[in-house]
Amino acid sequence: METVATDILIKEVKSKSQFDDFIDLPFELYEDDEAWVPPLKFDFKKYIVGENNYLNQSGPNTRIVAYRDKKIVGRLLVGINEKLNKAKGIKEGYISLFESIDDKEVAFALLSFAENWLGERGMDLIKGPLSLPGGDDNRGFLLDNFHDPTLIMNTYNKKYYNDLFLSYGFEKYLDCYAYKSYIHNDNIERYERLVPYAMKRYGFRIDKLDLKNMDSEMKDIKSIIDRAMPKEWDDFIPPNEEEIDLIAKQLIPFADDDLIYIARTNKGEPIGFNISLPDYNQVLKKLKGKLLPFGILKFPYYKKKIDRIRFFVLFVVPEYRKKGVPSAIYLKSYIKAKEKGYVFGEGSTIWEYNKDMILDIEKYGGILYKTYRIYKKSIV
């Protein structure tokens, strides 16, 4: 399908040249943006065709590109998560990976195509930008703080994107937050006193992730998510076993098992876990989208220099949320991060309705420093 809006030509990505344009556009748009981190192109190619996520298993989707005078000026991915819609009893579509020059005609042409595409498939609401199904990245538009570094699996965008969406008719759906914390933390002594007491009183321990026994570890993680994920979260449902396996495959290449923990009762029942990852964006920034020919030599050198981590998943089953389990995981992560020479941590992205986690991270000393906005629009 292709459509024309004034001098803007919208095409669904079919050819190799269109595919390359979809990938290459951000490299042109963000050439002078220090906070943008270029992805490795060969990894991103796999990502946008669903090789390392649940893009295609979740439902129909398409990638589109916008041209003016044969020059790429915009892109967008639009899709439907049928599994989520069925579980929640909704008819919603999502958009992701939006990029555009600062031009309303370009943005409106892309968004109009997405809205019509979803409307033809019976959807009544469009949300975004959202992560691709099975992912935890590219969520929302950054509203503020366009100067601090962008950490692994987080998003960066042009300031004008928010205005383009509002002008088209989108409104706020929800905000997600990023908190920063430095390893020098004046609050840590309080946790060092309270955590051992809580662990003894409520009978639990904190185990380091066993990368050599991932099948068993991921079963425990799935058990925790099944019990811990609130049913009222409209945008999430617990992953099935295949999705859990995919998470494990995504995790292992980047994981530092010293930064990932599973909380268990003294009888071995899994009750909580976290995922923290070294900020590989510090490496990717140096590679400029290419691993070959010289990136493969740079990678191990710059990997040793990583000094930031992103704390981006924490689940605790309801009956243990107020018994010190989150604090114990925070403390364990802090101690190990300090030992390994990390100096900065980011907790993100925390949805605004996740009041418990917001309270926990603020008590720990986290400082709100970035806000990401997700939008919605009725399809008419």
Sequential DSSP letters for 206-233: EEE--GGGHHHHHHHHHHHHHHHS-TT-
Average pLDDT along the chain: 91
Task: Supply the pLDDT for residue 214.
Answer: 87
Cβ atoms within 10 A of the Cβ of 135, count?
Answer: 19
Percent residues over pLDDT 90 in the chain: 66
Tokens of 113: 């195509």
248 three-state secondary structure: helix
| pLDDT 10s digits, 283-304 | 999 888 776 555 666 778 888 8
More confident residue, 286 or 376: 376
Residue 258, pLDDT above cutoff 60: yes
| Ranges 78-87, 293-302, 343-352: which has the least confidence | 293-302
Please tell me the predicted confidence (pLDDT) of residue 266: 96
Q: Which helix (H) or strand (E) holds 85?
A: helix 82-88
Distance (Å, rounded) from C-alpha 100 to C-alpha 372? Answer: 18
pLDDT in tens, 100-152: 999 999 999 999 999 999 999 999 999 999 999 877 788 999 999 999 999 99
pTM above 0.85, yes or no: yes
Domains, the chain, with CATH or none: 2-176 (3.40.630.30), 181-370 (3.40.630.30)
pLDDT attached to residue 290: 78
* Most confident segment among 75-79, 277-281, 303-307: 75-79
Q: What stretch of H or E contains 96?
A: strand 92-100
**Cα 190 off chain centre by:** 31
**What are 218's two structure tokens?**
């991921």
Amino acid sitting at position 355? K
Sign of the alpha-carbon dihedral angle for 249, 336, 217, 57: negative
Structure tokens at 10: 């919208």
Distance, in Å, from the CA atom of 119 to the CA atom of 123, rounded to the nearest integer, reads 5
Q: Comparing 19 with 292, which gets the higher pLDDT?
A: 19
pLDDT digits 0-9 by tens, 194-234 = 999 999 999 999 999 998 888 899 999 999 999 999 888 88
CA torsion sign, 8 to 45 to 372 to 156?
A: negative
Model confidence band, residue 89 (pLDDT cutoffs 50, 70, 90): very high
3-state secondary structure 159-191: CCHHHHHHHHCCEEEEEEEEEEEECCCCCHHHH
Under a CB-based contact definition with an 8 Å cutoff, are residues 161 and 375 in contact? no
186 band by pLDDT with thresholds 50, 70 and 90: low
Closest CA to 37 of 137, 134, 166: 137
DSSP characters over 281-348: HHHHHHHTT--TTTHHHHHHHHHTT--EEEEEEEEE-GGGTTTTHHHHHHHHHHHHHHHTT--EEEEE
